[in-house]
Amino acid sequence: MTMTNLNYRLNGRFPPVNFEELEAVPGVRTIAVHLTPAAARALLERNVHNRRVSEKVVQKYTAEIKAGEWRLTPGGIGFDDRGTLVDGQHRLHAIVRANQSVPMLVTLGLPPAGQEKVDRHRRRTLFDALYLAGLASRRQEVEIATCLTRRSMQSDSGVVPSDSLVKQTLDCHLEHIRAVIALMKGDNKSRRGLSQASFLAAAVLYHELDSARCAEFLEGVRTGAMLMQDHPAMRLRRLLLGETSLISMPRGGANQSFIFRRSVYAMQAHLEGRNINGLREAEDFDRSRLKQRAVS
């Protein structure tokens, strides 16, 4: 079977399609190659009319290549009929930086005007990819895993975690991620502030330490029932629902770190059985204090 003659039925379920019967676009062809760093460096010389390179995207692709997670997909490198690069500069930079060859589709002879339509359609998200691979069942799982990955990288929002790192985090914490989501679902009535990924990421770490105490804490955050104002769950609930006004509350990506650290502080206090008069920052659970508590 040739690439142009796909006259077959997949599992006998679909009608045959013979691409040789379709009208070909003159001057355009696509080949699959193992693109080397030397070739990628040479092809970047043809990158004379393109958007500004995103360092975050290059870092992400480079990490994918080094982790052995690069896959051959319909997306690749594209050149117009003048030999100018119109798509794929980030992939080429990543190949050079990783210094590894990867499989890549290369399309030659595209019309120059086609560049204005590159990446303007709906892109697949990381959730789309992990869902199709059977690794995630809902978007919230991936959002929590991404937040946990950022914490392990000690990055608030500046560096985009590679897909492979998020996938590893999801695989490592999935049981507890799903347990926390189920605990916060409760009566199926969710409130906007209580579904923040940074808060739920902290809860995942708490659940791994003590699932029973975590369930008790999350019930308090979710309902607020029978809690005094200085109870850690009530303090955190008021923050998440915006009932506590803080002048220092950051915006954007830094807000994730802000919420995560205060969630950990509240959860640590609850685990230790103490009330608090306010929320402070904690990078992670103080496991040394927990060990001392267990010994005593």
pLDDT single digits (tens) 157-189? 556 788 888 999 999 999 999 999 999 986 555
Strand residues in the chain grouped as ranges (E): 29-35, 77-80, 85-87, 102-110
Mean pLDDT of the chain: 85
pLDDT value of residue 164: 87
Cβ neighbours, 10 Å, residue 56: 12
Question: Which of 44, 51, 103, 55 has its CA nearest to residue 79?
Answer: 44
Determine the 3-state secondary structure of 70 from DSSP: coil
How far CA 290 is from CA of 4, 262, 272, in Å, comes to 65, 18, 8
Question: Which of 123, 122, 121, 125 has its CA nearest to residue 136?
Answer: 125
Lowest mean pLDDT among 43-57, 234-248, 255-269, 282-296: 282-296
Can you tell me the mean pLDDT for 117-136? Answer: 74
- Tell me the pTM: 0.66
CA–CA dist 147, 152 (Å, integer): 9
Provide, rounded to the nearest whole percent, the portion of the chain with pLDDT above 90. Answer: 53
pLDDT value of residue 215: 96
Under the banding of pLDDT at 50, 70 and 90, the label for residue 292 is: low
77 backbone φψ class: left, alpha, beta (φ>0; ψ -120 to 50): beta
Lowest mean pLDDT among 14-28, 135-149, 264-278: 14-28
Phi/psi of residue 228, each to 5°? -75, 160
The strands making up 102-110's β-sheet, listed across from edge to edge, are 29-35, 102-110, 77-80, 85-87
Lowest mean pLDDT among 120-124, 232-236, 287-291: 120-124
* Pairing mode of beta strands 77-80, 29-35: unpaired
pLDDT value of residue 107: 93
DSSP 160-199: PPPHHHHHHHHHHHHHHHHHHHHHHHTTS---GGGG-HHH
CA atoms within 13 A on the CB side of 92: 20
Can you tell me the mean pLDDT for 255-282? Answer: 93
The amino acid occupying position 241 is: L
Higher pLDDT, 235 or 56: 235
Can you tell me the mean pLDDT for 75-103? Answer: 93
- 153: part of which helix (H) or strand (E)? helix 139-153
66: exposed, middle or buried (C-beta count within 10 Å: 0-12, 13-18, 19+)? Answer: middle
Can you tell me the mean pLDDT for 114-142? Answer: 77
Higher pLDDT, 36 or 73: 36
Is 144 in contact with 263 (CB distance < 8 Å)? no
pLDDT value of residue 3: 47
Q: How far is CA 296 from its chain centroid?
A: 41
